[in-house]
Chain A
Amino acid sequence: MKDSHRDNAEQNHQYGCPVCLTLNDMSHARCRTCNRHLHLINSKSLQHTVALLVTSILLYIPANLLPIMYTNWLGQKTASTIMGGVISLWEPGTYPIAVVIFVASILVPIGKILALSWLCISVTIKKSDSRRINVELYRLTELIGRWSMVDVFAVAILAALIQMGQIMSVYPGAAALAFAGMVITTMLAAMTFDPRLMWANQPHIFIKEK
């Protein structure tokens, strides 16, 4: 594929507005169509992503160790963690739900954290031979991030629905909070990651202009 260093907006001292896609001159502080504040590709974007990513990893620990739900069943109070919930659902008849919960609350968050960490690393070490995979990875992370919230919402619905005092009642646990925080921080991390960083370090872009 033919693309010279001239083809990138940044090399032409232009900037595409992320909201309305209007091409602006780099000297402009605000977009000429939608008046959005413009900021250029910089290392700060990566710093924000890494900071949010570290926060989400820290939140992921209590989210898995603390109980996400307390069930009161005929006077007996039992606490269940996320993994415990998946295991208790792993019975004939409820396999599909166990799989949904496992994918949404365990596989997706871990995958997302790993994918974002890998993207941050590969952008920093300017590794461009895995770009194709990285681009797909980035798109996938943006697409699936929100879906981890299923477990938190399900706990909220169960807690509202099952309130029969001593016979049977469900209460949310502290892990719901940590888990919600983790999902939000990973979403923010994916949003702050600038995908143009993956393309900014092409070898031929560094060809000096005459």
Chain B
Amino acid sequence: MATLGTTLILVAFVVAAAAFAVGVAGGRRRSASLIAGAVGLSHVLTGLMLILTAIIVYSFVVGDYSIKYVNSYSDSSMPLFFKLTSYWGGLDGSLMFWVTLLAIFASVAIQINRERHRLLIPWVVAVISVTQMFFLFLMVIHNNPFETHLLSTPADGRGLNPLLQNFYMIIHPPMLYLGFVGMTIPFAFGLAALITGQLDDSWLRAVRRWTMTSWLFLSLGLALGGLWAYEELGWGGYWGWDPVENAGLLPWFTATAFLHSVMVQERRGMLKVWNISLVIMTFFLTIFGTFMTRSGIVQSVHAFGEDRELAWMFTIFMIVILTVSFGLVIWRMPLLRARNELDSWASREAAFLANNWILLFSAFFVLFATMFPTISEALRGERLTVGPPFFDKWMLPIGLTLLLLAGIGPLLAWRKTAMSSMGHQLMWPVLSGLTVLGIVMALGVNFWAAGLCFGLCGFVFGTIMQEFWRGSGVRQRATGTDRFTAVIGLFARSRRRYAGYIVHLGIVLIFFGFAGNGFKLEEQINLEPGQQVAIGDYVVTYDALKVTDDGQKQMITGHTTVTKNGKPMGGMYPARWFFRDREDEPTTEVAIRRGFAEDLYIVLAAYEVETQRATFEVTVNPLINWLWFGFGILSMGTILSLLPERSMAFATAKVPEAAVTTGLMLLLMVGLAPHAHAQHVENSQVVLLVPRSPVEKKLRDEIVCMCGTCGRKRVGECTCGTAEAMRTEISELVAAGKSYDEVVDYYVKKYGSQEVLAAPIDKGFNRLAWFLPYAVGLVGIIVVGGVAVRWTRKTTDVPVVAPVQTAARQEREARLDDELRDLD
């Protein structure tokens, strides 16, 4: 298998080289058959990469430990799932995963744009092939994942560190890779446009979606990295300005800048050089980020090792990228002349420009500070580093300025904003900002920086709401529908604009979460069983230290009970786990009690088993969940903006308004229902003991947890404290000789109803309860189906049956467009 893999990597390299050569030839001669050949070759490469992926995954699954890579990152005791994801567990596999993703992205992008951008395609293939060649080259000579042990084959692998065996570590790297890899496609189209001189806006349209998709993955990757740090590492924070984290942030800044400035080019024909430079820089920064973290040029918590050879290869590749790309830009300068000039600083384009400068400065600053040790070593011969306080000091005002711009930008008109309309536009947002500022200041929050951050959040929120209110008002008057349908209609007509506001809403929530960081409370204390610690509104009582073992690991758990303002909140169980064969690498298991206002975060820092004393670090993290929630909203907004035009067409179709509104409300309610139970307290330390008799097992399946917040999970499945107590009770009752019916009766009496049962007892009136969900489901299907039929019929019928109506509608829509434009 290993030999096959190594051979196929060589074949893949040759195919990539051929795709490059054929692409260049096809592009120069404009020969249709050569171009088709280049496209074919890039699809062949995708096929090869998929086969290579299959081979390495197979090796992991069957445990072929003669392959060094498989040996280093897995062992036979690992669950299948972790074996599969060990593929991207190390550098060598990551490189291959990277090329595979790039090949897939390239195939898709080429297939989509083959007809529309016929002239660009051969060059796109060529540029992508060069990138693939670079990474395949690295794999061939330096990081071959199929390298085998020369002498003896180990019987088992070394396994994966337990800290990495969790959900976030599986999903976080691929997300970041997708974001990084995706940025290659816009770069390839940009270079193709430069080479061919097809520098009208059509290449921009081809890449906008790709950039946005990659940007989404990058954002999710960053958020998941933060979540992992917060939940697994136990230091109570989520971002530490580590070089590896910064590497992900750098292209995020430039891509965000591009997504804004691209609008200026589409709308006003300005900033052409700027946009192409941003695309080039974003791609460059993805490569640079990889270089920075993998070559050991910058010391990081994640990567200490130095690798001179790798560093040199990356450096050469980066120099090539920069010289060729910016060389092309300078060569094509005459074609990149702007169609318009900046008319006024009080204009939308000026706001975009300011936003771009600040984002670019952020990238520059983070790059500078991250590279500072290397820079200072080169300049002064002394390695100097800067810590998080330095980053915070600079990024705080930068972030707040960006937030301010997010509130001002949408209020300004393109070209020039009349001073008279400024007051009208600014009044409500400013009022909303000042109100929030006033409230938080009255609550005793300092103006700098938390108060200002809250105030700006209020300001931007006001802007977004005003935009939706006014836009939907215009639509409502023009189309005569209700307000709700009008809002949906806004998305249908200017999807990008209003989806963009949703993304801004996510950003507001993220900043809201950031602001909470200033009110963090921390307490470190050594307790004896029975002693308490008070922090904020909470009192944490330490009950006992328990040592348990589940066969895979030994768990030392500090049992604590928490009250908030005197009200009992249940138990929390911070722990340390010692995995088999890795006893010297205990993992900290943080106990987190999540809430909208704040998280209570308890870490078991140290303990003495003999005396039962334990040291805890207790942290209250205000507003932190708004950060994750903000990322969720941001993703939703981006996805909304990525949806094809057609998907919103129903909202502009003429249907009885009430039907649409009700339909959507129902959809929303269905969508929101699961979130209503968000208060359930996870307790990963609960040990699910095996039921001792069939009766007990049956009872566990049929009685639900009564904690009231977990959404009626079965007692046998729920992991909260209440369920644990109920399980103990059940097993005591069964042990006392009670029959199944007696236990059920006991619970029905105890809770006064059959609420405690997962399913009602199948008798008489109760049958209705069985039937009802099915009936509701059936009705729902009929209603949705009926509405769908109506919508499709109306949209096809209207132009045929009622030409007069169509004319009227066209006129109305033209008027609406005008009014919307005025608002712009």
Q: Do A and B bind each other?
A: no
Interface residues of B, Cβ cutoff 8 Å to A: none
